[in-house]
Amino acid sequence: MNADPKSLVNAIKIEKILLAKQVGQFLSRDQVDEERVAVENVARLLAGDISEKVRRVLAFELRHCNVLVPDLAEKIARDIKSVAVPFLSVTKAISDKTYLRLLPQLEDWAKAAVARRIDLSSLVSQALARMGDEHSVTTLVRNDSLQLSNKIVGIVVDRFGKNVRIMDHLSARSDLRAEAVDRLLDKVSHHCREPMLDKLETSDVSPDFEVYNFQLEALWEQLEEASEAQVHACVTELRNARHLNHLLAIEMAKKGCKAFLESTLALEAGLPIGEIKDILTLQDRGAFVRLMQMASVSNSDAPHFLQLAKAQHSTEKYAA
């Protein structure tokens, strides 16, 4: 009597599933011996099996394996969602260097599985911020187990500043620094803006404002006696290093370095400093409004710039 082909296929599939489980359990012991090489070769074959269930069982068993040959780990990571996600969410067998090479090849749902991890390095987090689409970047931003550096926050704001949903999630983080809060104020929804303003008012922003004030004083000491050309060179350097922001320009102008504010607006708006000086005389209020728009000054910061311009204009008139 001929065997039923369907039953035969099912029997082979069951055998492969059991084999995948045994292979995964063996490799998860992390021992290094001659036998392991042979078992890894079997794992490679199972990782390419036509049956999704076979591949899924193998990946599930290997997710806690600390050491895997790179090609096997990457093959699983590039598989379909049901196979790759449980593996990517917890595996320690993929190094930062491999992640940086692998991330551009992954679908966004796979990047999101990586972004959900609690042990991500700053290097991988930064790569996700640069390469991820909305889903994975939202997952990264909502991962409270991670500390997001100013650089990572800046990348997210640069890429998704017009996405109110992501900006709202970002604004809810407890590790935001003052300059990040300043950048976010005009990008979040109304109901998220009020808590951010409360944070600023209560100084409930990380790191401690004492550190920020110390850096501000150090910069002031450097520029207090500087020429306008030297101030402009310093502002240009800060902007190139992504350390320049409107809050810093406001604080420096309050201390008496109006050239810092003028250079900031000139660089941000792409206008000559001479034209910036003319606009700040406020003889043409429409030009001032356009300048604020060109320099991407937030609605919360614009009144501070206006107040500084008025104060400077009044001082110059009195001196004349």
**Residues 255 and 309 both lie in one domain:** yes
What would the pLDDT profile of 88-101 be if each residue is shown by its tens digit? 999 999 999 999 99
Residues 215 and 189 both lie in one domain: no
Same domain, 163 and 251: no
Q: Distance of CA 293 to CAs 54, 80, 95, 298, 301, Å?
A: 58, 46, 44, 8, 11
For residues 130 and 57, state if they share a domain. no
Q: Tokens for 222? A: 């450097």
Q: Give the model's pLDDT for residue 134.
A: 96
- Find where tokens 């490799």 sit: 27
Do residue 180 and residue 235 come from a single domain?
no
Helix axes 52-62, 5-27, angle to 10 degrees: 10
Asked if 166 and 156 touch (Cβ cutoff 8 Å), the reply is: yes
CB atoms within 10 A of CB 180: 24
Domain count, the chain: 3
Query: Does residue 167 sit in the same domain as residue 237?
Result: no
196/71 Cα distance (integer angstroms): 46
Q: What is the pLDDT along the chain (320 residues), one digit of tens a residue?
A: 455 555 555 667 688 788 888 887 888 776 667 788 888 889 899 999 899 999 999 999 999 888 888 999 999 999 999 999 999 999 999 999 999 999 999 999 999 999 999 889 999 999 999 999 999 999 999 998 888 888 899 999 999 999 999 999 998 888 887 777 778 888 888 888 877 776 665 544 444 444 456 567 778 888 888 899 999 999 998 888 777 888 888 888 888 899 999 999 999 999 999 999 999 999 998 899 999 999 888 877 888 899 998 887 665 543 43
Instruction: Show the beta-strand stretches assigned E in the chain.
Output: none
Which of 174, 206, 238 is at the close of a domain?
Answer: 206
179 within 8 A of 250, measured Cβ to Cβ: no
Cis status of the peptide bond prior to 207, with omega within 30 of 0: yes
Same-domain status, 103 and 86: no
**Residues 15 and 106 grouped into a single domain:** no
Q: Is 203 left (phi over 0), alpha (psi -120 to 50) or beta?
A: left
Domain C-terminal end among 184, 206, 228: 206
Q: Which of 142, 177, 206 is the last residue in one of the domains?
A: 206
Q: If we measure between CA atoms, which residue out of 149, 208, 190 comes closest to residue 173?
A: 149
Which pLDDT belongs to residue 224?
84
Q: Tell whether 17 and 76 lie within a shared domain.
A: yes
Instruction: Name the average pLDDT for the chain.
Output: 84
Structure tokens, 298: 């937030």
Domain extent at residue 315 = 209-319
Q: Does 80 lie in the same domain as 55?
A: yes
Residue 81 sits in the same domain as residue 107: no
The answer to pTM > 0.95 is: no
Q: Please tell me the distance from the alpha carbon of residue 181 to that of residue 304, in angstroms, as a whole number.
A: 16
Q: Are residues 100 and 171 in the same domain?
A: yes
Distance (Å, whole) CA 221 – CA 213: 12
How large is the C-alpha radius of gyration of the chain?
A: 28
